[in-house]
Every structure is written in C-alpha cells, then in structure tokens.
Copies of this chain bind each other. A is one copy, B any other.
Amino acid sequence: MWTNYLRKRLPLTIRSLHTLKGNQLDQILMSPPLASLDLPDIWSPNPSSRIIPAIHKSFDDHTTIVLDGKLISMEIRSRIAAKVREMKKCLGEIPGLAVILVGQRRDSRTYVRNKIMACEEVGIKSVVTELPTDCAEMDVQNAIMRFNKDPSIHGILVQLPLPEHLDEEKVLDALCIEKDVDGFHPVNMGNLAINGRDPLFTPCTPKGCIELLIRSGVEIMGKKAVVIGRSNIVGLPTSLLLQRHHATVTVIHAFTENPEQITSEADIIVSAAGVPNLVRGNWIKPGATVIDVGTTPVEDSGCDDGYRLVGDVCHEEAIKVASVITPVPGGVGPMTVAMLLYNTLLSAKRMLNFN
C-alpha cells in the first residue's frame, strides 16, 4: 500500500532508486514520443459508464507534494551529459546550441545566461550572438542564416520577446526547422496541433510540464485540464500537448467569464498567465495538480539581480488544497532549460545519425 502510494506520488528522482530497471535507465525522459499516443477516437454509446484510470486518494490525511523541478531537472541533465559524452567518444562530435539575444532586457539576459551555463555543464557547445536593441531585422536574419548553415550548430534559439521594431514572425520563419529547438516555427507548431503528425521539436516549457506530471504519477488521459493563458510560447503548445495525452483541455484567457469556476473543476491546472497571485485557493479543486509556469519579475533589492520571480499561483493558499504543486522559482523553470538541452541533443542525434 505504502509502496504503491510512493510509486504514485513521489517524483522519479526519489522513486528511481527503487523502481527503475533495465532499459528505462537509458531513457532520458519519462514522457513518451508523441507518436505513441495516437489512439483512435472511438466513442462508446454511453460515455458516462466508461472507466478511466484515475488516482484515488483519501484527503483525510492530506499531503501536498511540492515538486522539486531543480532536482528532477538535475537528474535529466546528468543523463543528457552521459549521452553527450558517449557521442563525443563514438563520433568525436558534440551537440551545439546557438542563442541570439537582442537588446538589454534583464530577464532575457538572465534566461540566456542560465541556458549557456546549463549547456556547459552537460558538455553541449554554446554560442551567443548579442545584438543591440536597435539592430536591423537583417542583422538578426544574417545571424540566423549563419547558424542555419553551420554544421556544428544543431539548435538555434532566438530569445523572445524581441524589441518591438523587429518582426518576430519573419525572424522565426527564417529558422531552419531542423534546428528549431524551441519548436516555435509554424511548421513545428502545426505538426504539434495536427493529429497523426509529430513536430521535430516540442516546445520546451510544455514538454517540461508534461514530464513533471508524468514523473509525479499524475494521470493525464481522460482528466480535465485547464490551461490558463494562451501565449504562443506556453499556453497554446501546452494545451495541444495535453490534448495529445488525451486530457479534456479547456483554455482560459482574459476574456473568460468566471475563470475560477472553470479551474475549480479541473484535475490539472497549468497556469501561464504571467499574473502574480491570479490563482487563489478557491480556484483549485481539492486534490488537483497545479503547475505554475508564471514567472513575473518583481523588484526586490534583497535579491542578487535586483528582482525575484513570482508565479501565477498563490502558493500559501494552493498548498492547502492541491495534492501536487510546483514552486516558483525551482519548479517549471529548470525543467524548461533541461528540455532545451534535451531538444538540442535530440537534434544532434538526428543530424549525426546517432542513437
């Protein structure tokens, strides 16, 4: 009973010592490739009588699991590092990531710095091209073209948002889709949306959310999932990916009437609105899983960078209601970086024909 509880409720980092065997250890992620999730939609005549696998949990002994995204991502990163070493040994090559950073946004610079450090740690080569805020669109395009052609570069990312005078659409369209490790190119997004197709890359934050859900034993299939926010970077691809995993997905946004009524019926909430404390305790169904993607920088002179990151979820209230939640920082953020490394490795493996 207790083992079962552990297996269901604890992140893989803790479970792995006890339960992972054989070729599972070779796997970097627990979330499956998309293709394996293609199931035919066969409607039963009386849908209410169907049995969907679910976690049954008593809330008399309420325990909320706060997922440690940092710890889980460290495990993933160590597996990526091992694979990179293997690649180097076998082929004499390593994956390469190029980052294009335009302007001086403080949060963007921090994100890029974290990504570069993470690359170094796992042995992935990284190159950063920094461009001034007032650069021309052609400068960004030229940087992209150079990396598109460079065979030592397997992933290219343009740190968003771009300064307003630059056309994000044109810039992203210039990326060679085989190196689009962020998965934001319309072909990759279209193939994420279309049933029966697979994108070359799944966007990093949504992929990180799914990995967290799967590692914490949260059933997705048949569950009610609500995605708060519909950004191209998080909300949209997360809703598409949850649907791939056969959740019943509702996307809520600023025009939604009574959002709290919708979220309070959800088994899984992924919040990516970028509004601190939007999700209060009464927005959450008891026992639900709450993934907080919100990371709004708030001025704080006590912090190293002069600001700290704040989530969408009122953590103190949520922890009393949810069964699984993620903290900010240290929840989804580190997972996003780990998925970027994963996508870069995936791209290199694909281009170099290495398994």
Contact = CB atoms under 8 A, between A and B. Distances in A.
Contacts of A275: 43
A186 interface: yes
Contact of A248 (B169, B189, B243, B252): B252
A196 interface: yes
Given A255-B246, A262-B248, A236 B193 contact: yes
A236 B249 CA distance: 12
Given A230-B243, A243-B230, A221 B255 contact: yes
A249 B50 CA distance: 24
A231 interface: yes
A253 B243 CA distance: 9
A186 B190 contact: yes
Contacts of A253: 41, 243, 246, 248
A256 interface: yes
A197 interface: yes
A129 interface: no
A229 B40 CA distance: 11
A232 interface: yes
Interface residues of A, number: 53
Contacts of A43: 254, 273, 275, 278
A256 B222 contact: yes
B259 A47 contact: yes
Quick one: copies of this chain in the complex? 2
A189 B194 contact: yes
Contacts of A260: 47-48
Contact of A222 (B189, B193, B223, B257): B257
A310 to B, nearest CB: 14
Nearest to A191: B186
Contacts of A256: 47, 222, 248
Interface in A269-322: 273, 275, 278
A58 interface: no
A240 interface: yes
28 contacts: A39-B255, A41-B229, A41-B230, A41-B253, A42-B254, A47-B254, A47-B256, A47-B257, A47-B259, A185-B190, A186-B187, A186-B190, A186-B191, A187-B190, A188-B190, A189-B193, A189-B194, A190-B190, A190-B193, A193-B236, A194-B236, A195-B236, A222-B255, A222-B257, A243-B253, A248-B253, A248-B262, A249-B251
Interface of A: 39-44, 47-48, 50, 52, 168-169, 185-191, 193-197, 221-224, 229-232, 236, 240, 243, 246, 248-260, 262, 273, 275, 278
The 6 closest A-B CB pairs, nearest first, are A190-B190, A186-B190, A250-B250, A41-B254, A189-B190, A246-B255
